[in-house]
Amino acid sequence: MGNGTAARGSAQASAGELLHLVRSGRATTRGALQRATGLSRATVGQRLDRLFRAGWLREGAGAPVESPLGGRPAARLEFDDAHAVVLAADLETRHARAALLTLTGDVLAEHTGPLRVDEGPERVLDELGARFGALLREGGRAARSVCGIGLAVPGPVDSGTGRVVQPPIMPGWDGYDIRSRLGRAFAAHAAGPAPVPVLVDNDANLMAYGEQRASYPDCSAFALVKVSTGIGAGVVVDGSVYRGVDGGAGDIGHIRVPWVPGSATALCKCGAYGCLAAVASGRALAGRLTAAGVPAASGSDVAGLLAAGHPEAARLAREAGRHVGEVLATVVTLLNPGVLMIAGDLAGTPFLTGVRELLYQRALPRSTAHLEIVTSRLGDRAGLVGAAALVVDHLYAPERAEERLAALGL
């Protein structure tokens, strides 16, 4: 959804565009809004009045802003995050996180528990609806305060329809109408007064969106690689998620890696042999550990072994990091990001060491001269924060904000 459009420098600038200027921090006083848009003082006041009556803006409680012309300090305008809340969920292969968040991404209530994505959309989405209802009760919020729902899923998503497209690890989900079903589940379990907007995106995309906004807002090219049971990547360029033409961007787990020993016989969940995910994902490492007499079923099991300092798990993770690093050398050369973040179950020291070893060997120095390679700042909450931000940025984008104001009769 991006960060919305900039206000037009003319008398055409709408209330929604003024809201965007305030939310982005580009103009936070009436005078600054006048200068940014060319609107008269009276027109700015009229359009701000619509936003005040909607409860979307407030005058800040902090110190007033000094006027550049001298005289009385100007009151600072702020986005009022108390007028609504957002629900978000992050589906993994074997468990799910759900949370109730403010409009600025603060978690008010949270639940993490087992939920297998291979049980199918009916069962999974109904359970998420039940968890949402419980979170509202825990957070002391009414269903009518929810302005939208965001959902992160471990598969490629057509952002126009919110449907997953041929997901390798989500049997039964291909083309399923997630938005409608989750909306009905929420209404059933939370007694919602009306359907609320539901936005769906790939988990790595939303993790990247949440991490970039929270910790690297000035980074114009940001890439995140999630290595858990599978492998995926999210890319944020100029504040917007880059999805490709139909949501398939970032699916690096299915790049073929014929140079990796044994890859020719490594069967991937997509049905092909020799994919990166088949040799370097948490699932792949779990299989190799199990074959060596160390039981493990998923990326989270491997993460547990790594946390316990298991030497074979550490060796395999470093080796997997080298395989991923070789692929990322091409990614870095193509995108030239300022930040490359490694996240997910395997994002610890052994794996990161392997990534660095091969990435710096294979990529041109020009591509890595200004590159930071880091690990997650938000941890397990990255997908939730990104999903909530996706909803808020969609609902309060200039054109959509104007539609909602009109629907409110403002």
CA atoms within 13 A on the CB side of 213: 26
Residue identified by tokens 């550490």 is 314
100: in domain: yes
CA atoms within 13 A on the CB side of 13: 27
pLDDT band, residue 246 (cuts 50/70/90):
confident
Q: Give the Cα-Cα-Cα angle 275, 279, 281 (nearest 5 degrees).
A: 95
Average pLDDT of span 333-351: 95
Domain boundary among 49, 79, 109: 79
354 plus 396 within the same structural domain:
no
222 plus 195 within the same structural domain:
no
257 plus 344 within the same structural domain:
yes
Q: What is the pLDDT of residues 47-73, one digit of tens each?
A: 999 999 999 999 986 555 555 555 556
The per-residue pLDDT of the chain, averaged, comes to 92
Distance CA 365, CA 285 (A): 31
223 plus 332 within the same structural domain:
yes
Domain boundary among 25, 57, 79: 79
CB 37 within 8 A of CB 18: yes
8: in domain: no
249 plus 372 within the same structural domain:
yes
97: in domain: yes
- Can you give the residue range of the structural domain that contains 308? 217-378
75 plus 93 within the same structural domain:
no
341: in domain: yes
Closest CA to 128 of 150, 102, 106, 143: 150
Average pLDDT of span 200-220: 97
pLDDT band, residue 191 (cuts 50/70/90):
confident
CATH of the domain at 56: 1.10.10.10
pLDDT of 1 > 50? The answer is no
pLDDT of 363 > 70? The answer is yes
pLDDT of res. 71: 52
pLDDT of res. 3: 46
Give 301's contacts (C-beta < 8 A, 6+ positions apart): 282, 286, 295
pLDDT of 87 > 70? The answer is yes
pLDDT of 172 > 50? The answer is yes
Q: What is the pLDDT of residues 269-295, one digit of tens each?
A: 899 999 999 999 999 999 999 999 999
104 plus 122 within the same structural domain:
yes
255: in domain: yes
More confident residue, 224 or 73: 224
199 plus 225 within the same structural domain:
no
CATH of the domain at 392: 3.30.420.40
93 plus 187 within the same structural domain:
yes
pLDDT of res. 65: 53
pLDDT of res. 321: 97
135 plus 268 within the same structural domain:
no
Q: How many CB atoms lie within 10 A of CB 258?
A: 8
Residue identified by tokens 């999974």 is 124
Domain boundary among 79, 106, 132: 79
Distance CA 350, CA 335 (A): 25
pLDDT of 410 > 60? The answer is yes
Q: What is the pLDDT of residues 200-209, one digit of tens each?
A: 999 999 999 9
26: in domain: yes
Distance CA 86, CA 387 (A): 9
54 plus 131 within the same structural domain:
no
| pTM of the predicted model as reported, rounded to 2 decimal places | 0.91
φ and ψ of 199, to 5 deg:
-115, 140
Average pLDDT of span 120-131: 97
Closest CA to 23 of 50, 4, 10, 37: 4
CB 15 within 8 A of CB 51: yes
333: in domain: yes
Percentages (nearest 5) of helix, strand, coil residues in the chain:
45, 20, 35
Residue identified by tokens 């403010």 is 102
212: in domain: no
Provide the percentage of residues in the chain whose pLDDT is more than 90: 87
CA distances from 260 to 40, 69, 116, 168, 326 (A): 65, 66, 31, 22, 10
Average pLDDT of span 134-152: 96
CA distances from 274 to 3, 258, 279 (A): 38, 6, 7
CB 299 within 8 A of CB 282: yes
Give 230's contacts (C-beta < 8 A, 6+ positions apart): 93, 154, 168, 169, 253, 269, 277, 281, 282, 283, 299
CB 86 within 8 A of CB 392: yes
pLDDT band, residue 168 (cuts 50/70/90):
confident
Q: How many CB atoms lie within 10 A of CB 70?
A: 7
55 plus 195 within the same structural domain:
no
Give 187's contacts (C-beta < 8 A, 6+ positions apart): 129, 194, 195
Average pLDDT of span 288-308: 95
Number of domains in the chain: 3
